[in-house]
Chains A and B, each alone.
Chain A
Amino acid sequence: GDSVTQMEGPVTLSEEAFLTINCTYTATGYPSLFWYVQYPGEGLQLLLKATKADDKGSNKGFEATYRKETTSFHLEKGSVQVSDSAVYFCALSDNFSGGYQKVTFGTGTKLQVIP
């Protein structure tokens, strides 16, 4: 079945540092890939997405490139801010199955940015 593996956290960075959160996946089809962000006490927000190989999703300074050859979708940001402190979830959605979109989530990576 489908699976998503994320690097374990927590990740602690100083403000303005470079961020990479690794994500690799296993899927039988040609999935769409997502990064979600969850701030403390809140629901998940869609951060960015990519729907096919070599697509780059980007939003709010975050980027991730769909790498089919390495089955990866690593999240990067050039300069993190304290406000980026949150839990980040990598996810994939495979083709329609039973009329709904099954999304498989990673276990999440907690990011803490210190001033």
Chain B
Amino acid sequence: SQTIHQWPATLVQPVGSPLSLECTVEGTSNPNLYWYRQAAGRGLQLLFYSVGIGQISSEVPQNLSASRPQDRQFILSSKKLLLSDSGFYLCAWSPGSYEQYFGPGTRLTVT
């Protein structure tokens, strides 16, 4: 069966510091991968998606970036965090059908 992992689970970072969040998927190959952000009490905002290694598409311009160095690895990064980057970050994958499957999330607090 397929599983999706995210780490770290929680993170507290000062403004202006760098960020790296990692997501890996097991038990499947060539998945579509997604990064979402969920602000407190709000819905999901799609940040990036990837249909293959090295292929990244951005939905919202911001100071975040994403990379996919391996087939089942998806990384979300920032060079300098802003207060507004605080939120719950969710990675998801889809097998080529319409549903998406989510990881456990990373709670990021920028202080």
Contacts and interface: CB of A to CB of B under 8 A. Distances in A.
Q: Which interface class (under 10, 10 to 19, 20 to 34, 35 or more) fits B?
A: 20 to 34
B27 interface: no
B102 A108 contact: no
Contacts of A36: 102
B57 interface: yes
**Taking chain B's interface residues, is the majority helix, strand, or loop, or is none over half, making it mixed?**
strand
A46 B99 contact: yes
Nearest to B89: A43
A103 B100 contact: yes
Nearest to A31: B98
Interface of A: 32, 34, 36, 41-46, 49, 51, 89, 93, 98-103, 105-108
Interface of B: 6, 32, 34, 42-44, 46, 49, 51, 57, 90, 92, 94, 97-105, 107
Which 5 residue pairs of A and B lie closest in terms of their CB atoms, listed nearest first? A93-B98, A43-B102, A32-B98, A107-B43, A44-B102
